[in-house]
Amino acid sequence: MAETRSVAEPYRDARQQRDAAMLGMYVFLGSEIMLFGGLFAVAAVMRLLHPAEVVEASKALHVWIGAVNTAVLLTSSLFVALAVDCAKGGRRRGTGAWLFSAASLGAVFLAIKVYEYSLEHAEGLLPGLGAPLKVSTPVQRAFMDLYLVATGLHALHLLIGILLLLVIAIRAASGRLLLPERAIVPVTAGLYWHLVDVIWVFLYPILYLAR
């Protein structure tokens, strides 16, 4: 019974502890969905009130950069899924390597995002920096405000995810994280990563592809 070692105080057995961790993470992710849900509601209302202007504003965004970034995130999710599979099989090196790759792709996403922001700044589309804006309608300005808040909040979540994956990658590779007994750690961190991916899956069509 290698598993009894990792059962903590309020739990009777490893199965109960694992179920509680999974349920807790799903509930937490539910609260994340509600957090971004408020922003999606704002986007819905904006489109309801000003359909034509929102489409115009959306066309000014860089569709292809967004598409590439979506692909980067989807691929990182694949890597996390593979890492979790390794962790469950007790393969320490594989876990570390896949998690590290996923975190690197997260960093690539952020780098592309920063490049995109700088393009938009040069085009006079990015609010909040004090520079004079070259927006054609007030609604475009409001749309870009929403774009900045939504993508910024998403980027912040991604940054947290990158740090999380890196820490777990190092702990897994170095053997400080017992695998497969404590596979729940990469599993729950992976859930978080996938959710950040899912949020982007919705942000991308709503912000970039409004036509």
Partner 1 sequence: MTALQERPEQADRHDRGLSETDTERQSYLRAGHSLGSWFFTRDHKRIAILYLFAITAFFMIGGAAAALMRLDLLTSAGDLLTNEGYNRAFTIHGVIMVWFFLIPSIPNTFGNFLVPLMIGARDLAFPRLNLLSWYIFVLAGGFTLFVLIAGGVDTGWTFYTPLSSMFSHGNVVLAAVAVFIAGFSSILTGLNFIVTVHKLRCPGMTWDRLPLFVWAIYATSLILVLATPVLSITLVLIAAERLFGLGIFDPKLGGDPLLYQHLFWFYSHPAVYIMVLPALGVVSELVAAAARKPVFGYKFVAGSSIAIAVIGFFVWGHHMFVAGQSMYASAVFSFLSLAVAVPSGIKVYNWAATLYKGHISLDPPFLYGMTFIGLFVVGGLTGLMLAMLAVDVHVHDTYFVVAHFHYIMVGGTVSAFFGALHYWWPKIVGRTYPLVWGRLAAIFIFLGFNLTFFPQFLLGYLGMPRRYHVYAPEFQMLHVLSSAGASLLGLAYLMPLVYLTWSMRYGAPAGDNPWDATGLEWTTPSPPPKHNFDEIPVVDRPPYDYEIEMEGEDG
Partner 2 sequence: MQKTVSFVFVWFALVLLLAATVTASFMLKGPAGLAVSLGIAFGKSGLIYWHYMHLNEEEGLQRIAALGAGAWLLILFAFVCADYLTR
Binding site for partner 2 (CB under 8 A): 19, 22-23, 26-27, 29-31, 33-34, 37-38, 40-41, 44-45, 47-49, 51, 55, 63, 67, 70-71, 74-75, 77-78, 80-82, 85, 187, 190-191, 194-195, 197-198, 201-202, 204-206, 208-211
Query: In angstroms, what is the minimal distance from the CB of 97 to partner 1?
Result: 29
Choosing among partner 1, partner 2, none, which partner's interface includes residue 117 (Cβ < 5 to 8 Å by kind)?
none
How many secondary structure helices (H) and strands (E) does the chain include? 6, 0
Tell me how far apart the alpha carbons of residues 211 and 205 are, in angstroms, rounded to a whole number. 10
Tell me how far apart the alpha carbons of residues 140 and 211 are, in angstroms, rounded to a whole number. 14
The residues in 127-156 that bind partner 1, with binding defined as CB under 8 A, are: 127-128, 137-139, 141-142, 145-146, 148-149, 153
Joined together, the tokens standing for residue 67 give 């598409």
Joined together, the tokens standing for residue 12 give 């009777």
162 within 8 A of 103, measured Cβ to Cβ? yes
Phi/psi at 209 (nearest 5 deg)?
Answer: -110, 20
189 binds partner 1 (CB under 8 A): no
**Torsion angle defined by CA atoms of residues 85, 164, 31 and 13, in that order, rounded to the nearest 10 degrees:** 50
173 binds partner 1 (CB under 8 A): no
64 binds partner 1 (CB under 8 A): no
187 within 8 A of 34, measured Cβ to Cβ? no
- Residue number with CB closer to partner 2 (37 or 138): 37
Binding site for partner 1 (CB under 8 A): 9-12, 16, 19-20, 23-24, 27-28, 30-39, 41-42, 45-46, 49-50, 53, 127-128, 137-139, 141-142, 145-146, 148-149, 153
